[in-house]
Amino acid sequence: MRYRTLGRTGIKVSPYALGTLMFATSVGNTDPADSARVLHKALDAGINFIDTADAYGDSEEVVGAALKGRRDDVVLATKFSRPMGQDPNQQGASRRWIMTAVEHSLRRLQTDYIDLYQIHRPDPDTDIEETLSALSDLVHSGKVRAIGSSQTPASEIVEAQWVAQRRGLERFRTEQPPYSILNRGIEREVLPNIQRYGMGAVVWGPLGQGLLTGRVRKGGPNDLSRARFFRHLNDERRLDVVEQLIPVAAEAGLPMTHLAMAFTIAHPGVTSALLGARTEAQLDDLLGGLNVALDDDVLDRIDEIVPPGTDVGTLDQAYLPAPLLDPALRRRPATDRSAA
């Protein structure tokens, strides 16, 4: 295993990280013992980077129990800011919620410290200085080793770095954006800014949320029950691209999963790609491609199918800034629209 440095933290992490959304018994593996076996197999294979979140159901509890006796062997990351109840203050990136959320995560994870504490989504209602100030206090207290962001627009990545520098606060050391052959939009501005500020990129969705496994085919017997939750599985544009990528993988002598994973970690700005394995069989398949390196001819063919810096269709679960969701933020009041 060739470990990589997580930004400029000095922390060494594996190029594949284990994402644990599927460890939540409500959405993934209903048997925590099975999830523990997946986690232990990943650790035995050399993966030392585990990522979870407080909003992933009971994933933190499952991870915490599975790590008993092995906590010091892993770089443990979790996230906050997604709603954790009906109370409007049980979410976001305010100092009030951060100080509460971290204690809950420490308890669920059965640990005294979190290696990487990340804001799950940008919080437009909270001044970034307030967020960074609270997170800095957690770093200084020893409860958190490093802090990161997730799904942050490039302009807000820059703003957070400037605020940290000018106010003498801890700065975000990582960013967790979506990235795959189907979603390359971050190559335009997000990844260049991550590299400019010496941040690590921990990318999620490298398999296109299942489309790049090769098991979802155009006109094939796709799992429509799952498609109700993941609309992208029926996105004709994305399915068309998958059909073009399948022969590329075949000619390279690779399973689609290996092609997809190797593509994500080939970018010099990417530190680790998250594996979302739910079962040992899925993990075994992904681990089989750990040492795959794509040659320039294969990468050139991928560029021809999906040009650099472009997204194919819409990725479910992707962050959308508030003005794209609320019409009132992009429209003047009716009484003010007249040019007269």
Q: Which amino acid is at 158?
A: V
CA distance 69 to 92: 32
Rounded Cα gap, residues 159 and 143, in angstroms: 25
Beta strands in 136-259 (DSSP E): 144-150, 174-176, 200-203
Given a contact cutoff of 8 angstroms between Cβ atoms, the answer to whether 20 and 7 are in contact is no
Cα 254 from Cα 161, distance rounded (Å): 40
**Gap between the Cα atoms of 66 and 32, Å rounded:** 8
Helix (H, G, I), strand (E, B) or coil at 19: strand
Coil vs helix vs strand at 176:
strand
150 Rama class: left (phi>0) / alpha (psi -120 to 50) / beta: beta
CA distance 327 to 306: 31
Catalytic residue among 3, 16, 56, 319: 56
Beta bridge partners, 207, equal none
Residue 197 catalytic?
A: no
Q: How far is CA 117 from CA 104, 171, 173, 176, 325, in A?
A: 13, 12, 10, 11, 27
Write out the catalytic residue numbers: 56
